[in-house]
């Protein structure tokens, strides 16, 4: 639906161990998956980096931010097409604390550095988050927004929804952003 409404191509991938992707999700398999995705998009398809907009939802925002950062490191900040973070987080350990209490924050490693990456990014960034999100509080999105450098080309859109009921057709294509 997103591809049709926006007239774009979408390349979607999953974490190892989820959906059809066999294996286990750990830091090594995630880094390898990120490398394979970048190699496919930039080396095999030979897409220009400024034509690629990284999109991550929920925990997938960690990988999207990492891929946007890796693109910037490889090609330069000004060549990153953009980043979309839907119901994402600034700090994963804070989300673990929110969901499971202080023991989780002690055990969970902050593997994804979304806040650090966003602080460095100069590309347009779209943050979408539900005001009623019980899984990842909207304060996480607000924290990300606070540190975005290029606010003139970026947008923070908060809808009246939760974590799993964001409706693109309703919130983005019918009502419009902003």
Give me the domains of the chain, ranges plus CATH numbers. 49-174 (3.40.50.1820)
Please report, for residues 107, 128, 146, 174, the alpha-carbon distance to residue 154 in angstroms, rounded to integers and kept in the order given: 34, 11, 12, 20
Cα angle value 50/52/56 (rounded, 5°): 135
pLDDT band at residue 173 using 50, 70 and 90 as cut-offs: low
Q: What is the mean pLDDT of residues 63-78?
A: 93
Neighbours of 155 (CB within 10 A): 15
| Chain centre distance of CA 120 | 15
Q: Are 10 and 3 in contact (CB under 8 A)?
A: yes
- Burial label, 79 (beta-carbon count in 10 A; 0-12, 13-18, 19+): middle
pLDDT digits over 103-159, tens only?
887 777 777 899 999 999 999 999 999 999 999 999 999 999 999 999 999 999 999
Q: What is the mean pLDDT of residues 4-25?
A: 76
Which phi-psi region, left, alpha or beta, contains residue 133 (left: φ > 0; alpha: ψ -120 to 50)? beta
Q: For position 172, what pLDDT does the model report? A: 59
Reported pTM: 0.88
SS3 percent helix, strand, coil of the chain, rounded to 5, is 50, 10, 40
- In angstroms, the CA 143 to CA 134 distance is 16
Is the pLDDT confidence value at 44 over 80? Answer: yes
Q: What is the mean pLDDT of residues 79-87?
A: 94
């Amino acid at each position: 639906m997103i591809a049709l409404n926006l007239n774009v191509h979408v390349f979607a991938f999953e974490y190892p161990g989820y959906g059809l992707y066999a294996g286990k999700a750990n830091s090594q398999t995630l880094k390898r998956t990120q490398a394979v995705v970048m190699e496919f998009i930039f080396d095999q398809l030979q897409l220009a980096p400024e034509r690629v907009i990284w999109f991550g939802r929920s925990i997938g925002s960690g990988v999207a931010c990492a891929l946007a950062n890796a693109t910037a490191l490889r090609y330069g900040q000004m060549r990153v097409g953009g980043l979309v973070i839907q119901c994402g987080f600034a700090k994963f350990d804070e989300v673990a604390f929110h969901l499971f209490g202080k023991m989780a924050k002690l055990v969970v490693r902050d593997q994804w550095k979304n806040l650090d990456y966003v602080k460095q990014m100069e590309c347009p960034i779209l943050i979408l988050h539900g005001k009623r999100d019980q899984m990842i509080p909207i304060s996480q999105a607000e924290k990300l927004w606070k540190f975005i450098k290029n606010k003139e080309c970026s947008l923070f859109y908060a809808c009246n929804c939760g974590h799993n009921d964001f409706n693109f057709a309703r919130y983005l294509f019918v009502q419009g952003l902003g």
